[in-house]
Amino acid sequence: MPRPQTAAAGVCRYCGFALVESLLCLGLLAFALVSLVGAQVEALRLGQTAWLDTQAQWLLNDMLERLHANPAGGDYTLRFGEAVPASGVDCEQLSCSSQQLAAYDLRQWRARVDDRRVLPGAEGQIMRAGDADWEVSLRYHWRGAGPSAAGTATRTLTARTRP
């Protein structure tokens, strides 16, 4: 039976091999964890962006429904940053004319658009687009948008409708 070979002067051939393997595994594990943290941060950023887009769509649809609910018309024209016309009539409690309903709708909608908890830095605009069409636009800001995730971006969503 052959005898196992030994290194000269009592030195072990495989000493330290397990340490190198362990360090390599720890390096790979650290790389994987850093990658997962980066992916989680990106997922949170994209989730925040999707939530803001959803809120903006909700606000746009709210005004579109208000335009459809007042087919007789009324002046819904409103520019970015423009003050909302004052109206002392609460159309939920009293009967309103078409113009009073338009002023009430603008006040209600602008209050939601200006609420920073709903959409940060939002502004709304409603303009006539042709004879019968209305164009509703919503502009808002958010931090951490774009590939760099360091700046602030502005997004404008626009929808057209014919009441």
What pLDDT score does 18 carry?
A: 79
Judged against a pLDDT cut of 70, whether residue 4 lies above it is answered with: no
Model confidence at 95: pLDDT above 60: yes
Given a cut of 80, whether residue 17 has pLDDT beyond it is: no
pLDDT band, very low/low/confident/very high, at 7 (cuts 50, 70, 90): low
Q: What is the mean pLDDT of residues 63-86?
A: 85
| CB 156, CB 138: distance < 8 Å | yes
State the pLDDT confidence band at 25, using cuts at 50, 70 and 90. Answer: very high
Spatial CA neighbour of 155 closest among 66, 79, 61, 60? 60
Sign of the dihedral through C-alpha 29, 35, 38, 40:
negative
CB 73 within 8 A of CB 93: no
User: Could you write out the three-class secondary structure of the chain?
Assistant: CCCCCCCHHHCCCCCCHHHHHHHHHHHHHHHHHHHHHHHHHHHHHHHHHHHHHHHHHHHHHHHHHHHHHCCCCCCCCECCCCCCCCCCCCCCCCCCCHHHHHHHHHHHHHHHHHCCCCCCCCEEEEEEECCCEEEEEEEEEEECCCCCCCCEEEEEEEEEECC
pLDDT at 76: 87
The pLDDT, as a whole number, for residue 49 is: 84
Q: Distance (Å, rounded) from C-alpha 62 to C-alpha 122? A: 15
Q: Could you read off the pLDDT of 113-143 as tens digits, one per residue?
A: 988 888 888 999 999 887 778 899 999 887 6
Average pLDDT of the segment spanning 134-160: 76
User: Does the pTM of the predicted model rise above 0.95?
Assistant: no
pLDDT digits (tens, 9 = 90+) for 38-64: 999 999 988 888 888 899 999 999 999
